[in-house]
Amino acid sequence: MLRAALELFGRDGVAGTTLSALRAASGVSVGSFYHHFAGKEQVAEALFVECIAMYQEAFLAELKAHDGARGAVSGAVAFHVRWCKEHPDRARFMFTERPAASAALDERNKAFYREVWSWWRVQARHGALIGVDGTTAFVLWLGPAQELCRMWLNGQSAEPSARQIEWLSEAAWRSLGADHDR
Amino acid sequence: MLRAALELFGRDGVAGTTLSALRAASGVSVGSFYHHFAGKEQVAEALFVECIAMYQEAFLAELKAHDGARGAVSGAVAFHVRWCKEHPDRARFMFTERPAASAALDERNKAFYREVWSWWRVQARHGALIGVDGTTAFVLWLGPAQELCRMWLNGQSAEPSARQIEWLSEAAWRSLGADHDR
DNA sequence: GGGCGTTTTGGAATAATGTTCTAGGTGGTT
DNA sequence: AACCACCTAGAACATTATTCCAAAACGCCC
């Protein structure tokens, strides 16, 4: 059910997929559907939380797999694109839908940002990364990769190539690393 | 009418605004509405074209206002954020909605990209900008600014500050400019 | 100003879609 | 077998988009 919903939501958007389509794709009756979910929106919300949890967990693992700031910064960029390639349905869904405000989601996001940000501050204190606010750091770090994936998933550009990922990784380090002259 | 639609579409999304809301906000009757537009979606499409035309025109003007590559690259980043601040409804609408494929839109986009890209190639041939494909250049150039604006318009971060814009402008130049050692 | 064709408006009728409700079925427990 | 909690099915209902036609407004010619 959730699997079918993911594909439909990714292709047509939450608003664009009818309940009939959902039911046809997953073979559940109206009553059954409403027994398990409060409605279409709630399915979308559950899916959203699931996707973002999956992404954030993998992101943190990637971060911890590197011990130098340079490797982590570049690695995270490559990771972001890789994750989108491996889970295109989830990525398309996450980038397209604007989730309704949800306490569970806020909680999760806050915990994620806290963890990433504390890592960042340690690196910055060591003189490996520049000291900027979290938002600026985030958009410089993953903004280009995010935009590249978005364009690809929207059909506006080709699938990101290894060479492009290299460019983006290097650029991120050039923007965020503090250990070269400036 | 289009003005009211813009605000509602920006706030609630196209799918989230009912026709009644649209009619209440603009004071037109059902028949009148369907006489002028083929439906809700078509209003969205018309709005989308209008917004993107406005943006692209202003972007090209900004580009031509600089004669050095450095000023143009940095200026465009600042311009992007400035434009979003000046037209938050339009920006929110453009960043949120996935427009249906439209020949008019494709035509316009192609012309825009052609123009920007030809400017880019001239600068690259002069040795002022790096030689990369258009997509990579675009995401490195405006990806961070775009992501920053998106976060702000989605209420996930504060309004972009002058300091943030400076950071992004500098980073864009550091990524794209070719006249410093590398 | 008065007819007359065209454009525009208004709102009832219709269609599509999301949600609720109720009657029943299923499987496990005693 | 009787009971009970959970689940399924689909008809009934509510909301919303769209169609349709009659009437009003408009522009134009005489």
Residues A24-36: tens digit of each pLDDT: 998 899 999 999 9
Supply A131's token pair: 């000291």
CB contacts, 8 Å: B142 with chain A: 147
**pLDDT at B165 exceeding the cut of 90:** yes
**pLDDT at A99 exceeding the cut of 60:** yes
Tell me which chain A residue has its CA closest to the CA of residue B93. A98
pLDDT, tens only, A113-137: 999 999 999 999 999 999 899 999 9
Which of strand C's nucleotides are less than 7 A from any protein C-beta? 8-13, 16-23
B contact test, residue of A97, A113, A175 with most B CBs within 10 A: A175
8 A C-beta contact, residue A167 and residue B140: yes
| CB-CB under 8 Å, A151 with B147 | no
Taking the stretch 30-59 of protein chain B, residues with Cβ within 7 Å of any atom in nucleic acid chain C are: 30-32, 34-36
What is the number of other CB atoms lying within 10 angstroms of the CB of residue B21?
A: 15
Supply B174's token pair: 């550091």
- Going by the DSSP 8-state scheme, the letter that residue A66 receives in this structure is -
A177 confidence band (pLDDT: 50, 70, 90): confident
**pLDDT at A180 exceeding the cut of 60:** no
CA distance A171 to chain B (A): 5
CA distance B164 to chain A (A): 6
| CB-CB under 8 Å, A15 with B167 | no
**pLDDT at B179 exceeding the cut of 80:** no
From the CA of A40, how many Å to the C1' of C4?
53
From the CA of A27, how many Å to the C1' of C17?
18
**pLDDT at B143 exceeding the cut of 60:** yes
8 A C-beta contact, residue A149 and residue A80: yes
What is d(CA A76, CA A92) in angstroms, rounded to the nearest whole number?
Answer: 19
**Which positions 112-151 of B are in contact with A (Cβ < 8 Å)?**
132-133, 135-136, 138-140, 142-148, 151
What is d(CA B7, CA A164) in angstroms, rounded to the nearest whole number?
Answer: 37
Tell me which chain A residue has its CA closest to the CA of residue B95. A96
8 A C-beta contact, residue A154 and residue A161: no
8 A C-beta contact, residue A171 and residue B141: no
B contact test, residue of A147, A168, A174 with most B CBs within 10 A: A147
Percent of chain A past pLDDT 70, that is, above it, reads 98
What dihedral angle (degrees, nearest 10) is formed by the CA atoms of A159, B175, B95, A104? 90
Percent of chain B past pLDDT 90, that is, above it, reads 84
Answer whether A164 touches B (CB < 8 Å). yes
pLDDT, tens only, B45-76: 999 999 999 999 999 999 999 999 999 999 99
Supply B136's token pair: 């990579």
Of B16, B98, B171, the CB nearest to A154: B98
A2 confidence band (pLDDT: 50, 70, 90): confident
**pLDDT at B180 exceeding the cut of 80:** no
CB contacts, 8 Å: A15 with chain B: 13-16
Q: Is the CB of A38 under 7 A from strand C?
A: yes
| CB-CB under 8 Å, B154 with A139 | no
Task: Give the protein-side footprint of strand D (Cβ within 7 Å).
Answer: A 28-32, 34-36; B 17-20, 30-31, 34, 38-41
CA distance A18 to chain B (A): 12
With CA of B33 and C1' of each nucleotide, the nearest comes out as: C9
Compute CA distances A59 → A52, B34, B161, whole Å: 10, 48, 28
Taking the stretch 4-33 of protein chain A, residues with Cβ within 7 Å of any atom in nucleic acid chain C are: 17-20, 30-31
**pLDDT at A181 exceeding the cut of 60:** no
Supply A143's token pair: 């903004």
Supply A177's token pair: 């690393």
**pLDDT at B81 exceeding the cut of 70:** yes
pLDDT, tens only, A47-78: 999 999 999 999 999 999 999 999 999 999 99
What's the pLDDT at B104? Answer: 86
